[in-house]
Structure 1
Amino acid sequence: MTALRDDTASLPGEGRASLFPVAERFLRRFHEARPKAGDLGTRLAKVRAEIAATGTYRHTPAELAYGARVALRASGWCPDGVPWRGLLVRDLRGVRDAADVAAECARHLRMATGGGTVRPLVSVFAPDTPWRPGPRIRNDQLVRYAGYADGGTVTGDRRLVEFTTRVARLGWYGPAERGRFDLLPLVVETGHEGVTAHPVPRAAVLEVPIAHPEHAWFAGMALRWHAVPVISNLRLHIGGIDYPAAPFNGVYLARSIGEEAFAADRAYGLAPVVAQRLGLDTSSDRTLWRERVAHEFTRAVVHSFDRAGVTVQHSPEAYLPAVEPTGGPAFLRQAQARVR
């Protein structure tokens, strides 16, 4: 997949003294892009006073939408050619309770995949403030399939074995009959409720059954994958303000499903099974059998998504390039909540 904004480096400490210069840089950039947004001097004076009084400030809806769109376009997940206003931003800053966060995340999934045409979307929940942290989502994506370790075998996604184990400590154990595509619950952390797990409604998750355009036996493997990648464990940083829960989605790159999920040993590890069915020589990696299998898996994903009418990209060149954060709006790795 194209590069994802997942940086450990954050901007310098933003106390009352240092927050205003960061806010000012963002607001000047916003007003330069939106000259009809009002008088910049008046806005800067209001923000300066708000920071002096509270240690933080509140973005206007237009500022929030602008910052989120800039960050999404720089994330590496945004398809090229999507118009600026085609990047949807949901202002959910009033949502802080875990159950409400989970419900809005399910709504995000429905909105992003409605009718199969995947739309880039950001849902922005309550920010961190000096007196209260915003909610955090501990899943790396809203939709993930469990990985169950039993002795030396794993059922499901090997990448999620550790997370599945941690979720079990919260009281979730999955269905009685465990399968390869059991939806993991959404794990939400809030300052007043702690860490809680919330089921992701199956009805909110659009899934695509996987078949191959030439090999009918592919369908017999009963594979499927969810339609949209919603990144959920990064914080949205805009003008010195952190929004720790701001799930966003772009569009899947086919090989991130076919090659990185189905074929890879660290995920579902199905490459040897398919290689055997294709009659490939697996005696050495120099026969390039793994590359052949990855290619056939990716072909199957493109074919299946196209047949289902669900958006998928087949080339990394279809995405806007990831942009290194230089102080502007960006999705960054989580920082610790700051509560004073």
Structure 2
Amino acid sequence: MINAINLNSKLEIQAEAFIRFYYEETKKSAQQYKERLSEVAAEIRETGTYTHTKQELTFGAKVAWRNSAKCIGRLFWDSLEVFDERSAKTEEEIAAALLRHIEHATNGGRIRPTLTAFAPQKPEGSDIRIWNHQLIRYAGYRTPDGVVGDPASVELTEAIQRLGWTGQGTKYDVLPLVVQIGSRKPKWFPIPGEAVMEVKFEHPDIEELAGLGLQWYAVPILSDMALNVGGVRYTAAPFNGWYMGTEIGARNLADADRYDELPAIADLLDLDRSTNTTLWKDRALLELNSAVIHSFKTNGVSIVDHHTAAEQFMRFMKREQEQGRDVNARWSWLIPPMSPAATPVWHRNDLTEREIDPDYAPQERPY
């Protein structure tokens, strides 16, 4: 074990814990640790914060994924690619880096887990914030007949419209990127159409389903969470893996407060919706999820079904236990929203969640 040195502030203590953790897990020498910690402590006392090396940042981002209590896909945490964009100073430079992230992560459909880190929070402020919940997300428009598009995006859509953006008003308008630095006026940047890979849904057996015109984008890039590493908070650090099919087929397109497509699918299948006892929702849900997985695979886009994802999570747990690490987990998020009792995670309601560093954390909306 590495011995600590005398520390003063809360940040110094957090930094020491992370630096120690990094140097122990990467099997670096005690002397290297002591030299690095002295540098960090001196920088904190001089500036009020400290700067991670690229290697520390990459390690912290990967371990934050490994620690993420709500994520079932952590088996692949060490494959995360981290892009260091801390030198980006303007909204335009940040937007350009976000477009590079989209291109790299999409990779023609062979999705690559990716994180892009921008300059962290400083004692004097000027935080970088990305307004978008995900870099690619569909707009939602209030109309007298209800919401057109994604109801989850209505407030963000209206906030962006107040900045001067105007969409086409369809169900699948891709919102622009919105970047804000400190108290400066936010700027919006359209995402070129060719940068957004989308999948139109067809069913392997039910040809008529294609006529519903359902679709979704290929890559889920979360962009409104903070990355916390050793007391340093990266308020703009978008990251992605790939989709689990039920995220789209049992939530985004199926939830009554989202796209609510189950009634249309049930009617297409001529199911009786007059009573719940016909299990029309379950039958429609199954066919929608079949279409999602089939269409992604047919188009060469990475996706995982919920049964495979659950088996992968169990392998992740086993590996972590073999390494002597406790798994941070929130059971209610790890069980999939479809057939959860048919997955091995269902029986692991002994899982526990705790505060941990590094991690990804929610932030208040900037709009």
TM-score (norm 1): 0.89
- Structure 1 residues 169-188: aligned runs within 5 Å: 169-175=162-168, 178-188=169-179
* Corresponding position: 1:27 with 2:56: no
Q: Does 1:113 align with 2:106?
A: yes
Q: Deviation digits for residues 42-90 of structure 1, max 9, x if unmatched?
A: 1111111111100000001110000000012233446354372x21011
Question: Would the aligned equivalents of 1:77 and 1:249 in 2 still touch at CA under 8 Å?
Answer: no
Larger RCO: 1 or 2 (CA < 8 Å, sep 6+): 1
Equivalent AA in structure 2 for residue 276 of structure 1:
D
Residue type of the alignment partner of 1:20: E
The partner residue of 1:235 within 226, 234, 243 is 226
Deviates more, 1:305-314 or 1:98-107: 98-107
Shift of 1:110: 0.9
Residue correspondence of structure 1 range 18-57 to structure 2 within 5 A: 18-36=10-28, 39-57=32-50
Which secondary structure does the structure 2 equivalent of 1:148 belong to?
A: strand
2:341 is matched with: none
Of stretches 295-304 and 178-187 in structure 1, the one that deviates more from structure 2 is 178-187
In structure 2, the CA distance between the partners of 1:45 and 1:330, relative to structure 1 (3 Å rule), is same
Candidates 128, 147, 164, aligned match of 1:135: 128
Contact 1:96–1:135 under 8 Å retained in 2: no
Quickly say closer, same or farther: Cα 1:264–1:327, change in 2 above 3 A: closer
Residue aligning to 1:6: none
Q: Of 125, 135, 142, which residue of structure 1 is paired with 2:118?
A: 125
Quote the Cα distance in structure 2 between the aligned partners of 1:286 and 1:195. Answer: 50
What amino acid is aligned across from residue 246 of structure 2 in structure 1?
Answer: R
In structure 1, the partner of 2:360 is 331
CA contact (8 A) 1:147 1:157 kept: yes
What are the within-5 Å matches in structure 2 for residues 90-239 of structure 1? 90-175=83-168, 178-191=169-182, 193-239=184-230
Which digits, 9 at most, give the CA deviation of each residue in 1:105-130, with x for residues without a partner? 11111111103111111100011111
1:281 paired residue number: 272
Give the TM-score taking structure 2 as reference length.
Answer: 0.82
Equivalent position of 2:339 in the other structure: none
Could you say which residue in structure 2 is the equivalent of 1:82?
Answer: 76
Alpha-carbon separation, structure 2, partners of 1:118 and 1:78: 17
The alignment partner of 2:253 has SS state of: helix
Mark the runs of 5 or more structure 2 residues left unpaired by the alignment.
1-7, 317-326, 330-352
Shift, 1:153, TM fit: 2.2
Is the 2:250–2:289 Cα contact (8 Å) retained in structure 1?
yes
Name stretches of at least 5 consecutive residues in structure 1 with no aligned partner: 1-15
Tell me the percent identity: 39
Which SS does the other structure have where 2:257 is aligned?
coil
State the Cα RMSD in Å: 2.0
Contact 2:328–2:354 (CA<8 Å) still a contact in 1? no
Measured in 2, the distance between the counterparts of 1:182 and 1:332 equals 28
Asked if the contact 2:133/2:224 (under 8 Å) is kept, the reply is yes
Cα 1:204/1:189, change in 2 over 3 Å: same
Distance in 1 (CA, whole Å) between partners of 2:295 and 2:162 is 36
**Which amino acid is 2:17 matched to?**
R
Shift, 1:336, TM fit: 9.6
Matched residue of 1:334: which SS? coil
Matches within 5 A, 1:310-325: 310-315=301-306, 316-317=309-310, 318-319=312-313, 323=329, 324-325=353-354
